[in-house]
């Protein structure tokens, strides 16, 4: 009966739950789902990670390639994140070129990494003006159940944290490149940005870590990126206006969550 009711009146179904101070999956309003991370599952990639928040799953694989740098930044490498929202992960997505949503997600992840200055692109330089590393970070969502930005960032950061790059010998005169794959050095990551998503409903009701169902019915979305004591992103693309108190409340919650996620990632990488 409940499932028919949900299909016919999705908004009312959710509202009935919220009126009882509980969410459809049994969580309290400000409770997050459990997160888990697995590092190094894909042996073909230079580093990889699988990040799960509840049933939302994102797989990240990083492939490092050598290329010539841009002329205006001769000592900087490249980091190219690409979020793929395949038709497998949700009925919302269709096969074909990347949707607007996927493009915006890729852009957000790229922005967050640049803003947090978690990685120094000059560390990717092998030989100035001649040779740099390009990190292709493919983020593939295989289960889309809300808070995908959080999962993408988690997967990417975990993969970057466990990334090792082989030693490269480059002869600038002859242009000969010798890659020694047996001697790999860990890539330095300066910080660990963690993003947290909130859904906002009528009358300033805040739901932490929304599922897809909650996200699609929400009146607004708020995404906070915390990095240590500082913030490196506050994204709220429209939606219902929020008060100052709500912002402070979400800030406080996301700080606690960021500490937890950071521990989870660090534990997974050291093991």
Partner 1 sequence: MQNQLETTEEEECVLRPMNCELNQLSRPDGSAMFMQGDTVVVAGVYGPIEAKLQKMMHDRATVETMFSPAKGPPCVDDRAKETVIRETCEAVLLTALHPGMAISINVQELQDSGGLLACAINAACLALIISSISMKFTVAAVSCMIDRESGKLIVDPDSTQIQQARVTFTYVFEGIKKDLVSCHTTGRFSENELMESLEKCRAASQNIFDFYRNIVEQYAIKL
CB 234, min distance to partner 1, A: 5
- Residue from 27, 103, 134, 266 touching partner 1 (CB under 8 A): that is 103
Residue span 187-226 as binding mask against partner 1, x where in contact by CB under 8 A, dash where not:
---------------------------------x------
Q: Judge contact between 200 and 224, C-beta under 8 A.
A: no
Question: Could you tell me the two tokens for 249?
Answer: 């409340």
Tell me, what DSSP letter sits at residue 72? Answer: S
Sign of CA dihedral 132, 45, 183, 187: positive
Q: Which stretch binds partner 1 (CB under 8 A): 31-39, 109-117, 207-215, 263-271?
A: 109-117
Rule CB under 8 A: is residue 100 a binding residue for partner 1?
Answer: yes
| Closer residue to partner 1 in complex, CB, 48/254 | 254
How many other β-carbons are positioned within 10 Å of the β-carbon of residue 163?
Answer: 25
Q: Judge contact between 154 and 109, C-beta under 8 A.
A: no
Concatenate the DSSP letters of all residues of 104-168 into one string: HHHHHHHHHHHHHT-S-GGGGEEETTTEEEEEEEEEEEEE--S-HHHHHHHHHHHHHHT-EEEEE
- Residue from 134, 240, 249, 266 touching partner 1 (CB under 8 A): that is 240
Rule CB under 8 A: is residue 233 a binding residue for partner 1?
Answer: yes
CB 219, min distance to partner 1, A: 8
Question: Could you tell me the two tokens for 198?
Answer: 């909130």
Rule CB under 8 A: is residue 235 a binding residue for partner 1?
Answer: yes
CB 194, min distance to partner 1, A: 14
Q: Which stretch binds partner 1 (CB under 8 A): 120-128, 138-146, 156-164, 233-241?
A: 233-241
Rule CB under 8 A: is residue 170 a binding residue for partner 1?
Answer: no
Question: Could you tell me the two tokens for 152?
Answer: 């993408």
Q: Judge contact between 154 and 194, C-beta under 8 A.
A: yes
């Amino acid at each position: 009966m409940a499932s028919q009711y949900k299909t016919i009146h999705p908004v009312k179904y959710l509202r009935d739950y919220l009126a009882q101070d509980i969410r459809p999956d049994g969580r309290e309003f400000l409770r997050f789902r459990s997160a888990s991370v697995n590092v190094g599952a894909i042996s073909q990639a230079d580093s990889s990670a699988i990040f799960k928040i509840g049933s939302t799953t994102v797989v990240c694989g990083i492939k490092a390639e050598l290329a010539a740098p841009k002329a205006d930044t001769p000592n900087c490498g490249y980091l190219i994140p690409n979020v793929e929202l395949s038709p497998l992960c949700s009925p919302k997505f269709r096969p074909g070129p990347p949707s607007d949503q996927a493009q915006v997600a890729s852009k957000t992840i790229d922005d967050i990494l640049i803003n947090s200055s978690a990685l120094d692109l000059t560390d990717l330089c092998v030989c100035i003006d001649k040779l740099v590393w390009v990190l292709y970070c493919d983020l593939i969502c295989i289960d889309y159940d809300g808070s995908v930005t959080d999962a993408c960032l988690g997967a990417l950061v975990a993969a970057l944290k466990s990334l090792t790059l082989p030693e490269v010998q480059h002869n600038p005169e002859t242009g000969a490149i010798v890659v020694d794959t047996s001697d790999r050095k860990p890539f330095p990551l300066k910080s660990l940005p963690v993003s947290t998503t909130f859904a906002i409903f009528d009358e300033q009701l805040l739901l932490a870590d929304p599922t897809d169902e909650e996200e699609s019915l929400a009146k607004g979305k708020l995404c906070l990126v915390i990095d240590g004591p500082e913030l490196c992103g506050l994204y709220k693309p429209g939606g219902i206006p929020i008060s100052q108190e709500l912002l402070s409340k979400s800030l406080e919650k996301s700080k606690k969550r960021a500490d937890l996620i950071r521990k989870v990632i660090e534990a997974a990488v050291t093991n």
